[in-house]
Amino acid sequence: MKKSYKIDVDCAACANKMEDAAKKTAGVKNAVVNFMALKMDVEFEEGADLKAVMEEVLANCKKVEDDCEVFI
């Protein structure tokens, strides 16, 4: 399943860090951050709990860029 999420991030480099952090999160098959559109497209692994995975994505993103936001 794929879903899009609105994000808040200050620069393209930070967006790349968020994308890498999201891709490394368990339950995420793939993630793409579009800095210009301020959105993150996430493809989930089969059977993943979307809300729990996205909470972990947000936590992982905050580890690399503490002032970013993912609107779940």
Q: What are the structural domains, with CATH classification, of the chain? A: 2-71 (3.30.70.100)
Mean pLDDT of 63-70: 93
Instruction: Write the pLDDT tens digit of every residue in 18-34.
Output: 999 999 999 999 999 99
Per-residue model confidence (pLDDT) at position 9: 94
Per-residue model confidence (pLDDT) at position 71: 96
Q: Are 30 and 48 in contact (CB under 8 A)?
A: no
Per-residue model confidence (pLDDT) at position 23: 98
Instruction: Write the pLDDT tens digit of every residue in 34-53.
Output: 999 999 999 999 999 999 99
Mean pLDDT of 2-19: 96
Q: How far is Cα 63 from Cα 47, in angstroms, rounded to an integer?
A: 26
Over its C-alpha atoms, the chain yields an Rg (Å, rounded) of 11
